[in-house]
Structure 1
Amino acid sequence: MTTVTTRTVAYPADGLTMMGHLALPAGTDRRPAVLIGPEGPGLSDFQRRRADALAELGYVALAFDLHGGRWIADPQEMLDRVMPLLADPDRMRGIGHAALDVLRAEPRTDPDRIAAIGYGTGGAIALELGRDGVDLRAIGTVNGLTTGRPGEAARIRCPVWAGVGSEDPIMSAEQRDAFAAEMQAAGVDWRLVVYGGAQHAFHHPTVDHAVLPGVGYHPRQAERAWQDIVDLLAECLPVTE
Structure 2
Amino acid sequence: MEGEPPEMTILLLAALLPPLFLMIKIYKLDKVEKEPGGLIVKLLIFGVLTTVPAAFLEGFLISLVGGVISPKTTLFILVENFFCVGLVEEGVKYFALKKGSWNHPAFNYTFDGIVYAVAVSIGFAAAENVLYVMEYGMATAGVRAVTSIPGHCIFAIYMGISFSLAKYCEVHGNLPLRKKHLRNAIRIPMLLHGFYDFCASMKEPIWTIIFLVFIVALDVAAYKKVNEMERQDRPL
TM range (shorter): 0.3 to 0.5
* Bigger radius of gyration: 2
Q: Which has the higher helix share?
A: 2
- Which of 1 and 2 has higher RCO (CA within 8 Å, sep 6+)? 2
Q: Which has the higher strand share?
A: 1
Q: Please report the TM-score for the alignment, with normalisation by the length of structure 1.
A: 0.34
Q: Please report the TM-score for the alignment, with normalisation by the length of structure 2.
A: 0.35
